[in-house]
Amino acid sequence: MATRKTASKVSKKASLNIDIEAPKKSTKREVAKNLKKMSGVAMCLAVILLVGGVAGGWFGCKYLMRNDCFTLVGKDEITLTVGEVYKDEGVNVISFGKDMKDKVIVKTNMDAKDGGYTSQEIGTYYMVYTVDSIKYGTLFKIQKIRLITFVEESEAEEIITENGGND
């Protein structure tokens, strides 16, 4: 018949008695005394290093983000006739020097059709572009919006005539 043995070894971690106390008044006095003893040169050097670190961090951040952008490609307002398919041109997104186009999230109230978007009803529709990025998604919550207006064919001809054929 098999017998069981119980563990008799106690873990070192379990046997440590750590008691965290508030610092003693004598320790506070010693720190205050040592700060008073610190020479003016050492204090000045500490301030210079602090200011230099902050300035270096600021310039480094500006250097890393010098080419960052989040812009719409093409027009931000488009007029189409009902049933016409709009091929999305997308956005340019660069965050901290990296191309983030693959992390763009597009939300729209139009119907997807043939690799584009369309609507069978007259009205103004939207495309909202957001990015899953620390800079444009978490820190600043930036989004871009493109408005697409679907009109009847006769209205589209009037708009083209008014704009001189540039729409």
Same domain, 56 and 95: no
Mean pLDDT for the stretch of residues 124-129: 94
**155: which 2 tokens?**
């209205």
* Number of folded domains that form the chain: 2
pLDDT over threshold 80, residue 19: no
What's the pLDDT score for residue 22? Answer: 66
Distances in Å between the Cα of 40 and the Cα atoms of 24, 36, 43, 84, 143 are 28, 10, 5, 75, 51
CA 84 to chain centre: 34
pLDDT over threshold 90, residue 38: no
Model confidence over 46-79: pLDDT tens digits?
Answer: 889 999 999 999 998 888 888 888 999 999 899 9
Residue 119 lies in a domain: yes
What's the pLDDT score for residue 33? Answer: 79
Give the Cα separation of 65 and 99 in Å (integer). 12
Give the Cα separation of 144 and 70 in Å (integer). 8
Residue found by looking up tokens 């041109």 in the block:
89
Residue 9 lies in a domain: no
Q: Residue 93: which of 148, 146, 142, 147 has the closest Cα?
A: 142
Largest CA distance in the chain: 101
Residue 122 lies in a domain: yes
Range of the domain at 59: 26-64
Mean pLDDT for the stretch of residues 28-55: 84
